[in-house]
Structure 1
Amino acid sequence: MSHTAHIRSHRKPRRSATTSIAVRAGVAGGVLSMAAAGASASAFAAESTTQTIELPTLSADLGSQVAESADAMQQAAANYQLQAERDAAAASAAKQAKADLAEAKKAEAKKKAEEARRAAAEEAASRSSARATLSASAGASVSTSSSTATGSAAAVIAFVKAQIGDAYVSGGTGPSSWDCSGLVQTAFKQVGIDLPRVSQDQSTAGTQVSLSNLQPGDILYWGSAGSAYHVAVYVGDGMFVGAQNPSTGVAEKPLSYDPPTGAVRVL
């Protein structure tokens, strides 16, 4: 047996007539399909280019609403501006009113201070005039008795003279500082007489006596009886002792130094 008898041949097999016809038919069908697809695409493209797109248009109602909304926004802005201007005006008016009030208060305080100064000056002038008048007639109307005090009057006089040189302090009742009524009250307490605390009451505590008939130990007062503003003790010989003021303290002075208005006697 030959060795080549079993090797297959490498030659291509021949196509049969039926196979060739089928191939040709398939190729022709594919070409026709592609041609049809191209024609369909061309027709679609042509139709697409001629289509009209319609955009929505504003209706009359919608346009009116837009206009009204714009007007409302403009009116709101105008209202806001007007309110801001009103607020600024109100703040400015309040500030001005506050300044005016402060200025008015300042002017009123200045006016009251001026009135008080004028009243004080008039009062001082009135007192000075009264003192001058009383001083001019002091020699004739005030007794300058030099009789020696005895008994309770002597004790009162000794006490007030012992305090000469002490300080004057408003409300003071001793032992080293006094006001006028505190000194008089404490002096008479030495002899068992309990006087009221203030000048007004001390000026009506005893029997009213004339300044031309004074005796040692009488209480002198300045101002009206019942509304006196100062008191002292008459010690004889035209002299009195009293807690005068912060600058002099307790001092002995002549009646002409500050002529009294009246006197009361309690001894």
Structure 2
Amino acid sequence: MSHTAHIRSHRKPRRSASTIAMRAGVAGGVLSTLAVAGASGSANAAEPVTQTLELPTLTADLAAQVAQSADVTQQAAASYELQAERDAAAAKAAKEAKADLAEAKKKAAQKKKAADAARRAAAERASRTAERATLSASVGTGSSDGSGSSVGSSSSSATGSAAAVVSFVQSQVGDAYVSGGTGPNSWDCSGLVQAAFKQVNIDLPRVSQSQSTAGTQVGLDNLQPGDILYWGGAGSAYHVGVYVGDGMFVGAQNSSTGVVKASLSYDPPSGAVRVL
């Protein structure tokens, strides 16, 4: 008998082949499951979860609708632009029409003014023609003032300073009448009288109103050559002349007759003043 027979064998007891195969299958299945789970976990860990949105597919109909919408928008923009151009043209036309109307009114007013002026000028020419005819008939004649007394009946000859005044005004007969004129070839009524008295160193006021009160008032039936005649009130006279004797006076009458020598009856004065 062996000296080790009484000692238990250290070897494990042998398993059957079927037991080993079964255990191997179980182990393989577990390992496969773990492998699949690990792979799935790794994949899930490596790729983040995202949400996917599905966009509509651009179909032919949708493309046609987009194109049609663009055409409509373009047509609307063109329509607005055309309307704006029409509005601007209408505003411009209205402005031009208003300006044309104002110009037409202005021209019509000017034509009316010119026509009125022409009528007045024609009336003045007719009046002047009649006035010249009357003046021609009355120059060199004397007449009664209607009260039975002779107006300006004095026929005394001028002497001294009066003669110089009379000579000066008579030498201007035929000169033109110009409002504001003071000579030497055109006069207004008070300018002529003032210049005549300057010949004898007498300074008279420039205007008719003041000349009508520059001397001593005298009656029209007691006139002497060199007296100043006035028409209108004393201090408010609108016309003056110089008495030259024999019922005559010299004065710058108006633009149609100029400076004339005429009878007192042609236009009887309102009064007279004596300066000399």
Tell me if TM exceeds 0.5. yes
Partner of 2:29: none
What TM-score do you get using the length of structure 1 for normalisation?
0.59
List alignment gaps of at least 5 residues for structure 2. Answer: 1-56, 135-141
CA deviations over 1:7-65 (Å, ceiling 9, x no partner)? xxxxxxxxxxxxxxxxxxxxxxxxxxxxxxxxxxxxxxxxxxxxxxxx963474x6554
For residues 204 and 97 of structure 2, what CA distance do their matches in structure 1 show?
60
For residues 198 and 112 of structure 2, what CA distance do their matches in structure 1 show?
47
- Residue 69 (1) aligns with residue 75 (2): no
- Residue 154 (1) aligns with residue 157 (2): no
Partner of 1:202: 211
CA deviations over 1:111-152 (Å, ceiling 9, x no partner)? 334555666749x87xx89xx9xx996354733222333443
Q: For 2:244, what is the secondary structure of its paired residue?
A: strand
- Judge which range, 70-79 or 193-202, deviates more: 193-202
| Structural mapping, 1:163-202, within 5 Å | 163-165=171-173, 167-168=175-176, 170=178, 171-175=180-184, 177-202=186-211
Amino acid across the alignment from 2:145: A
What TM-score do you get using the length of structure 2 for normalisation?
0.58
Cα gap change, 1:148/1:117 in structure 2, threshold over 3 Å: closer, same or farther? same
Amino acid across the alignment from 1:168: A
CA deviations over 1:180-216 (Å, ceiling 9, x no partner)? 3332112111222101233344334334544444332
Cα gap change, 1:207/1:119 in structure 2, threshold over 3 Å: closer, same or farther? farther
- 8 Å contact from structure 1 (residues 234, 240) kept in 2: yes
Partner of 1:138: 145
Partner of 1:215: 224
- 8 Å contact from structure 2 (residues 194, 203) kept in 1: yes
For residues 81 and 207 of structure 2, what CA distance do their matches in structure 1 show?
71
How far has the Cα of 1:238 moved from its partner? Answer: 0.9
Q: What is the RMSD computed on CA atoms of the aligned residues?
A: 4.0
Q: For 1:138, what is the secondary structure of its paired residue?
A: coil
- Residue 238 (1) aligns with residue 247 (2): yes
For residues 136 and 111 of structure 1, what CA distance do their matches in structure 2 show?
45
Amino acid across the alignment from 1:84: E
- 8 Å contact from structure 2 (residues 177, 259) kept in 1: no
Would you say how many aligned residue pairs link Structure 1 and Structure 2?
208
Cα gap change, 1:155/1:77 in structure 2, threshold over 3 Å: closer, same or farther? same
For residues 210 and 120 of structure 2, what CA distance do their matches in structure 1 show?
26
- Residue 109 (1) aligns with residue 110 (2): yes
List alignment gaps of at least 5 residues for structure 1. Answer: 1-54
Cα gap change, 1:212/1:198 in structure 2, threshold over 3 Å: closer, same or farther? same
For residues 186 and 120 of structure 2, what CA distance do their matches in structure 1 show?
31
Partner of 1:90: 91
How far has the Cα of 1:260 moved from its partner? Answer: 3.2
Cα gap change, 1:202/1:111 in structure 2, threshold over 3 Å: closer, same or farther? farther
For residues 108 and 58 of structure 2, what CA distance do their matches in structure 1 show?
77
Amino acid across the alignment from 1:240: F
Q: Percent identity?
A: 59
Cα gap change, 1:177/1:92 in structure 2, threshold over 3 Å: closer, same or farther? closer
Partner of 1:79: 80
CA deviations over 1:71-102 (Å, ceiling 9, x no partner)? 22111111122122222222222222222112
Cα gap change, 1:94/1:176 in structure 2, threshold over 3 Å: closer, same or farther? closer
Cα gap change, 1:56/1:87 in structure 2, threshold over 3 Å: closer, same or farther? closer
Cα gap change, 1:154/1:56 in structure 2, threshold over 3 Å: closer, same or farther? closer
For residues 99 and 136 of structure 1, what CA distance do their matches in structure 2 show?
62
- Residue 57 (1) aligns with residue 59 (2): yes
Amino acid across the alignment from 1:263: A
- 8 Å contact from structure 1 (residues 138, 255) kept in 2: no
